[in-house]
Amino acid sequence: MPSSIDFDAQSGQSAKINYSVPLPGQITGKRFMQLDLELELTDFHPSVLAPGQTYAKMAGITKSSTGVSVDANIAARFLRKKLLSIGHGSQSVEKALSKLPELLSPTSDVKTESIAGPGGGVVDKKDPDAAPEVGKPVEVDPVLGDPFDFVKTFAANAIFGFVIVPTTTGGGSGSTEEVPEELDDSEPNPQLFLVEVYGVSSFLGDYGMGRTVRTFTLLPGESTTIRLKTWQSSKESIKQSSSIIDSHEQSAKDRFTNKVQNETTDKKTQADTSKWSLEAEAKAKWGWGSASAKGSMSGEYQSGREQFARSTSEAVGEHANESSSKRELSVTTSTETETEISEETSIERVINNVNMRRVLNFVFRELNQTYTTKVHLKGIYVGFTNEQVGSWRQVPISGLRGLLEEVGSDQMDKDEVAKRILKLAGTVFNANDIPVRVVETINYDPIDDTIAISPVVFDAEGQFSPPTDTQYYRFKQGALAQDNDTNPVEGVLLSEQTIVMRTDSVIVEALLGQADALDNYSMEIQEAAARKETLENERNELLLSTISAIANPKARARAAAALFNTPATSEDA
């Protein structure tokens, strides 16, 4: 019977430490670039120009001169689809939706108030004194939150005619978004997008001692209890000091994503972001922008990508600095009292100074860790929306031809549009400002049913050949143009920086005082006591050596009994 585990020292290979493994803090985000291709409405297929169903109708909300009515069944179907699509469990969703009819009732006693926020927005204001409702789902996703809260927020605003859509934040946490009223009666506005997928990867670097946290002295023979409290002692401090560099904390992802969005979304696109964001149901939206796909404007798009990489890298640095600055350590002794009202944990240790003549100084210092953080482009996709419900489509570069065939009319010059998009997406400048070809050609032979991969070959005009049924393009896999890099990352490296983070570890050094704390008389007494112990040890060593020289066991036992004043047993006698 073969063994389940085989330890073979001859052919086996032991595991080795690999310092190039990315840390758990690696995150991914998407940047959406709306393309100005100078297309007319007639260039799009009639099916994408037909007015779609509004969010209000999908949610079962009807406004009339007599007021607002909400169909609970339609609203339940709408919420069920949205909540399941963002990752909530079906059991918790059904539990939450079972309370929807009661929440939509005018006599509902659920203490949730809907008030108009700044700029006409809707704010959900909960009564902190409200008792927990019966039937509230027990299973709560720690990242997305409780689906019952989404349902309650939706109902509280639906009765006033506002449409609240469950969605996710840029970092992936559960959130809600209000549908702008102007979307209800708007005409389709078809738009094509380039969706760039970015990653932020971190690698371990050097570590060493940081600032001094605390120093204190123990007198000769003194002992005390020390208490170490780190920034990971309470939930609130963890939330504020976590970072995407070295943690899994969702709060860190949300804070970083918000910072990137604020710094990379241009003002021109800001007004349209809410309309597109509802349709692009994707997590980790890092920013929105627009770019012209005219022949003379491809350089502007490349510059915009470089600026985005720099802004993202700066956001990483600022995010890390903010998190690191809140990582406070404290060391207190039993002689100090500190009163705090919070849930926290601390480490207690008892230390003492065994020296009888000199003081012992303790120095507590933080341990700092350096990280190499890289921003890299992992992939490029093509997206489409007409700003109507359910119209968002997203395909990889390899599906570009199929997407244009689906949304374009016979009047659209699909070959020219594809060439413009490929020109923008096909080349990326890396961190060293070197152009990197990020796409490759896939040739399909329908007769032999084989696929061949080859480098891109431009046409006579120096342009990409338009994709066909048997030839298309795809984003290259693996690390690109990083042959000499010790820590290669997927895709194209756009920026790299070194970040120093404070950790929750402490290094302690003990320094013995130089001056004696005893007078000559006390020192002579200690020396005499030490001399007494030394003589006793020398006597015992001499006795043991004498006994060991006796070969006969019985004689050796009698000698040991006599020398150590222990009476011999009857057997020894």
End position of a domain, from candidates 141, 166, 187: 187
For residues 406 and 531, membership in a common domain is answered with no
For residues 372 and 410, membership in a common domain is answered with yes
Within a 10 A sphere around the Cβ of 156, how many other Cβ atoms?
24
Model-wide pTM > 0.75 = no
For residues 476 and 395, membership in a common domain is answered with yes
End position of a domain, from candidates 165, 187, 209: 187
Q: What confidence tier does 251 reach under pLDDT thresholds 50, 70, 90?
A: low
For residues 235 and 367, membership in a common domain is answered with yes
User: How far apart are alpha carbons 364 and 209 in whole angstroms?
Assistant: 10
Torsion of CA 96, 99, 104, 107, to 10 degrees: -140
The number of folded domains in the chain is 3
Q: Looking up tokens 């502007």, which residue turns up?
A: 300
Mean pLDDT (whole number) for 477-489: 88
For residues 323 and 359, membership in a common domain is answered with yes
For residues 274 and 372, membership in a common domain is answered with yes
For residues 416 and 366, membership in a common domain is answered with yes
* pLDDT at position 380 over 90: yes
Q: What are phi and psi of 424, to 5 degrees?
A: -75, -40
Torsion of CA 146, 149, 150, 151, to 10 degrees: 120
For residues 317 and 434, membership in a common domain is answered with yes
Asked whether residue 372 is assigned to any structural domain, the reply reads yes
Asked whether residue 464 is assigned to any structural domain, the reply reads no
Range of the domain at 133: 53-187
Mean pLDDT, the chain, integer: 76
Write the burial class of residue 402 (CB in 10 Å: 0-12 exposed, 13-18 middle, 19+ buried): middle
Of residues 437 and 460, more confidently modeled: 437
C-alpha distances in angstroms, 25 versus 204, 205, 244, 312, 413?
Answer: 11, 14, 5, 15, 44
Asked whether residue 388 is assigned to any structural domain, the reply reads yes
* pLDDT at position 250 over 80: no
Q: How far is CA 482 from the centre of its chain?
A: 24
Mean pLDDT (whole number) for 83-100: 84
Q: What is the DSSP string of 277-327?
A: HHHS--S-EEEEEEEE-SGGGHHHHHHHHHHHHHHHHHHHHHHHHHHHHT-
For residues 245 and 278, membership in a common domain is answered with yes
The residues near 130 (Cβ < 8 Å, ≥ 6 apart) are 110, 111, 112
Cα 219-225-226 angle, rounded to 5 deg: 100
Condensed to tens digits (0 to 9), the pLDDT of residues 28-59 reads 888 888 888 888 999 999 988 877 777 888 88
User: How far apart are alpha carbons 418 and 296 in whole angstroms?
Assistant: 16
Asked whether residue 146 is assigned to any structural domain, the reply reads yes
Condensed to tens digits (0 to 9), the pLDDT of residues 132-175 reads 444 444 456 666 778 888 888 888 888 888 888 887 765 566 77
- Strand order of the β-sheet with 347-352 is 330-333, 223-229, 347-352
pLDDT of residue 135: 46
Q: What confidence tier does 205 reach under pLDDT thresholds 50, 70, 90?
A: confident
Asked whether residue 466 is assigned to any structural domain, the reply reads no
Asked whether residue 205 is assigned to any structural domain, the reply reads yes
Q: Give the pair of three-digit tokens for residue 177.
A: 């978004």
Mean pLDDT (whole number) for 50-73: 83
For residues 103 and 43, membership in a common domain is answered with no
Instruction: Name 288's bridge partners.
Output: 32
For residues 508 and 558, membership in a common domain is answered with no
Asked whether residue 235 is assigned to any structural domain, the reply reads yes
Asked whether residue 125 is assigned to any structural domain, the reply reads yes
For residues 343 and 322, membership in a common domain is answered with yes
